[in-house]
Structure 1
Amino acid sequence: MPCDEANHVCDKSQYKEASLLEKIKLNLHLIYCKACRGYSKNNAKLTKRIEAAELECLDPKCKEDMKKDLEKALKEQLH
């Protein structure tokens, strides 16, 4: 398995989207590839931190209001 494919499978695995065969191939690749082990470790850290942050997204109306305000401010700045 090439490193770029291993990184892709690593990403899929983090989100529970990798098949059993992909996971097996990834684990075999990680045995001998230090760079991909590092990528996998950093990916796991990032996922844990994002989950721990308990981020909340803006609701669609708020986003639309912000977009309109920004567009209005840009128009005023240009004139």
Structure 2
Amino acid sequence: MMENVIVGLIVAAAFAWVTWTMLLPAGLRNRLRRLAGRPVPSRTGGCSGVCRGCEAAGPRAVKRHSGSCGSH
């Protein structure tokens, strides 16, 4: 009986995480964050411009930068 409760909680937590990270649009997530009193992230995903890693690597890495983190 106790194992069923634990498994149910784990499955519910996994479902909530997938729903929050993959299914909810960014605007709705940000609205829910504001309602909860949490700060809204300034960037919602991807890399806009130059990654911190590229900045640290120097100007040559910035020239190769394709616009999304991880694909240089």
What is the TM-score with the length of structure 1 in the denominator?
0.28
Answer 1 or 2: which has greater helix percent.
1
What is the TM-score with the length of structure 2 in the denominator?
0.31
- The higher radius of gyration belongs to 1
